Amino acid sequence: MGNKKRYVLVGTGGRAEFFYGALTRDFSETSELVGFCDINQVRMNYANQLLREKYNYPEVPTYTADQFDQMIEQEKPDYVIVTSVDRTHHKYIIRAMELGCDVVTEKPMTIDEEKCQEILDAVKRTGQHVRVTFNYRYAPHHTKIRELILNDTIGKVTSVHFEWLLNTRHGADYFRRWHRDKRNSGGLLVHKSTHHFDLVNFWIGSQPETVFAFGDLMFYGRENAEDRGVTQFYNRATGNPLAQEDPFALHLDSDAHLKSMYLDAETEDGYQRDQSVFGDGINIEDTMGVLVKYRNKAILTYSLVAYQPWEGYHIAINGTKGRLEMNIVEQSYVNSLGDKSKEGALIGKTLRVLPMFGAPYEVEVEEKEGGHGGGDPVLLNDLFGEPAEDPFHRAADHVDGARSILTGIAANRAIATGLPVKVDTLVQF
């Protein structure tokens, strides 16, 4: 009992349950959840209700955001899990380390270069550790690509072509929520692409050197809708008859979980999770193209579009001995709506090796139970259980967290200035 690692969690929204559910259900031998922190008491109370009813775990003490220090003093956690809004991650990561805790943080580690530098400095100053939970690395088909490249299957990697499609269900969700303001999320090139840029860093074993990008809001947002002839607009879906006709609307009162998590909690902070994707005030891009040169000279061409008819990705990796091609169709998932183990679930998958001169062949990858093709349970065991030796070194630290966001942060700057950006001008490691 005394040897159990003690955890508190900050940000009790949709993502939080992935961690507190696993901690209390699957890792109670090694770990103990001892507190929640959030700006919203209703959401914390609901998380406690789920703990009690779904996980058969006693309620934990709750602390509002201004009581974070008090929580650390009273609950004496070893780890702080950060699953709050992206713009707030750095505050909790840094303060947790200053108070002697290690940190497990959701991606993106943070959203801009200043905050990233503050985190890097705090790690040096305090000697504490930060883990960034890149679950995509653990998906078996993603790990397989690392293995194939490590085994020299396609020789030295020279270029990567990476197209990610977000559909009108999942992709649209970023435009209903806090993510639609770049100050909260860094835009999709940070918030979402941090996964993709991390995968490229991980696969090719290198880091970004120079980045150029274009990006714009070309489908969502009021101006685009007006240009397409739309004349009727609304601010939020719930309770609005106009939203009944809108295939992009999310109806918070149609799902008990969504209602308890967001609609019932609005009285506390005014946050509306069901805003119209064709409303005013969206300042993130929905259409993005990025070009990256890596330290090892490899070149990445990357595309992200957030209003596609299907969800998934095409990846081609070219090397001096051949080419890898992966095509994935993902089941689209809306945060807090539906079974979490279905997040990132696959509908279709092909992974092919095309040797420069031999016949192409399919690579079989065994998928297991759990989210992201069985990758999520491996990540969770790495975090909360007895980690197994990992030849692929998938556990990501603050340096991996920084390198994955720096591509997107540089891309944001390139979009703003029209100029390429040298990544080493952004932060000092």
Question: Which helix (H) or strand (E) covers residue 353, if one does?
Answer: strand 346-355
Which of 319/401 has CB closer to ligand NAD? Answer: 401
Please tell me whether residue 88 binds ligand NAD under the rule CB under 6 A. yes
- For 248, the token pair is 């992009």
State in angstroms the smallest separation of the CB of 100 from ligand NAD. 20
State in angstroms the smallest separation of the CB of 233 from ligand NAD. 24
299 strand-pairing partners: 159, 293
Of positions 7, 9, 15, 115, contacts ligand NAD by CB under 6 A: 15
The 34-73 contact track toward ligand NAD, x by CB under 6 A, reads ----xxx--x---------------------x--------
What stretches of 42-197 adopt beta strand conformation (E)? 62-64, 79-82, 102-105, 130-132, 157-167
Please tell me whether residue 180 binds ligand NAD under the rule CB under 6 A. no
Which of 287/335 has CB closer to ligand NAD? Answer: 335
Which of 303/335 has CB closer to ligand NAD? Answer: 335
Please tell me whether residue 186 binds ligand NAD under the rule CB under 6 A. no
Of positions 8, 9, 14, 258, contacts ligand NAD by CB under 6 A: 14
The 132-161 contact track toward ligand NAD, x by CB under 6 A, reads -x-x--------------------------
Q: Where does this chain touch ligand NAD (CB under 6 A) — which range of 10-18, 55-63, 111-119, 396-404?
A: 10-18
Size of the site for ligand NAD (CB under 6 A): 23
The values of phi and psi at residue 324, to 5°, are -110, 140
Please tell me whether residue 12 binds ligand NAD under the rule CB under 6 A. yes
Helix or strand or coil: residue 89? helix
Please tell me whether residue 11 binds ligand NAD under the rule CB under 6 A. yes
Please tell me whether residue 196 binds ligand NAD under the rule CB under 6 A. no
State in angstroms the smallest separation of the CB of 370 from ligand NAD. 13
Contact predicate 109/135, CB 8 Å = no
Helix or strand or coil: residue 155? coil
Residue 339, C-beta contacts closer than 8 angstroms, at least 6 positions apart? none
Question: Which helix (H) or strand (E) covers residue 37, if one does?
Answer: strand 31-38
Residue 308, C-beta contacts closer than 8 angstroms, at least 6 positions apart? 165, 166, 167, 168, 171
Residue 375, C-beta contacts closer than 8 angstroms, at least 6 positions apart? 135, 136, 137, 138, 139, 140, 142, 143, 344
Using CB under 6 A as the criterion, which residues of the chain lie in contact with ligand NAD when the complex forms?
Answer: 10-15, 38-40, 43, 65, 83-86, 88, 106-107, 133, 135, 178, 191, 335
